[in-house]
Structure 1
Amino acid sequence: MQGHGYTQPVNQPPPIGWLVFLRVVFVVISVLSFGLLMWTMMLRLAIVTRRALDWWLFAASIVVEFLGLYLMGSEPGDEIHTAGGWTGLALVLGGMVAAIAYYLSADIRHFHQLRLSGYPTQRPPSPAYGYPQNQSPYTATTVPQSPAVPHTPIPRTPVPPPPQRPAPARIDQVRAELDELSDYLRKHDGRQDDNHEGGR
């Protein structure tokens, strides 16, 4: 027999307060390290979202950071005087600002979508074969019905009985013949009585 099976657990996003705290911590780490640790927030973003683009941006942040530090470190003195030094400084500062902006927007968007996809009304598992399906009264659409009109039967006119058929002509004829026969017998019996009396 098959049951309903196990439903996949829904990954609930962390509380908003905890997410805000993590965002602030990673941004502060990047700013206070003067861009040296900006790769940490990009690494966290790539781990959280698991998108190939974020992994590529994490690698790019490391390349930009080391290239900028190399160009600034190639300056002959303590101060930046050459175009290479200024380019390195622009790479580090610009990369840090761009990384912070992208990190915050991508992290907020990711958890917003996760929160929206985690809370919709979940469809109940389909029932196994042979089990009845309960329908909620709130899911079925109801159509307002007009009040029922009582059915009044149409009065039927009584059908008159069929008229009595007249007796067949044959019966009348037999009756008439019997009447004639009885008259004849009466007359015949009366004549015979007269003859007997006259013969005496």
Structure 2
Amino acid sequence: MHGHAPMTPPRRPGPPAGVIAVRVTICALMVLTCGFLAWVGMLRIAIMRRGGRDWALFWAQLALNIACLATLEQRLADHWISNVGMAGLLVQMAAVTAYYLVVDVRHHRPAPALAPYGPGYGPYGYGYRANAAMTVSQPPPVPQAPPVSPQAAPRIEQVRAELDELSDLLRKDPRDPRDTKDPREGGR
């Protein structure tokens, strides 16, 4: 009743408020402009991750965005091309927003802890540290009997015989094991 209760694992810290503010602002820009500024999310990913693939996706998305905007000219207002261009912008808005959120969340995910209760601490809290071997999930070592040399075999048999003889003597002992009188006390 008064033992150590298992400690609940500490909550992982979320991303800082600045990261969340940037994430919300960029998503709001992409959605509220109906995809006109969808390239901003791709630019943020390319700058953040600095990969060649991300820069290629940014430039491809920017070119597609400009092509869709070009179809929205006044002279094409009553033509089916302007409808395709607006549909392209809306599809870009949804796709880039989803892609941006997935990549940004993965990029800012905290590193996994070594142990589920925090680095070096066990499930009992109160400052009890698990030893270093417990923080890494390894199976416990299996105890193995040392190899018996041919010279030790007669000694093992001798010890086994002596133990059997001792156990026979203990079984034949006429004293009652429940008798707790000490013969030095004189029958008190």
Which TM-score applies when normalising by structure 2? Answer: 0.51
Match of 1:138 in 2: 131
Cα deviations by residue, 1:65-111 (Å, 9 ceiling, x for unpaired): 100011111x526xx42221111111111111111110001111122
1:1-200 alignment, distance < 5 Å = 15-73=15-73, 75-76=74-75, 80-112=77-109, 115-116=110-111, 120=114, 138-139=131-132
Instruction: Give, in angstroms, the shift of residue 137 of structure 1.
Output: 8.7
Contact 2:15 2:108 in 1 (8 A): no
* Matched length: 117
Q: Secondary structure at the match of 1:35?
A: coil
CA distance in 2, matches of 1:120, 1:137: 12
Q: Which runs of 5+ in 1 are unaligned?
A: 1-12, 122-135, 146-150, 155-200
Q: Which has the larger radius of gyration?
A: 1
Comparing both structures, which one devotes a greater share of its residues to helix?
1
CA distance in 1, matches of 2:78, 2:37: 25
Amino acid at match of 2:111: L
CA distance in 1, matches of 2:28, 2:56: 23
Percent identity, aligned pairs only, is 30
Q: Which runs of 5+ in 2 are unaligned?
A: 1-12, 116-128, 135-139, 144-158, 163-188
Which TM-score applies when normalising by structure 1? Answer: 0.48
Contact 2:42 2:58 in 1 (8 A): yes
CA distance in 1, matches of 2:43, 2:130: 49
Work out which structure has the larger RCO, using CA pairs closer than 8 Å and 6 or more positions apart in sequence.
2
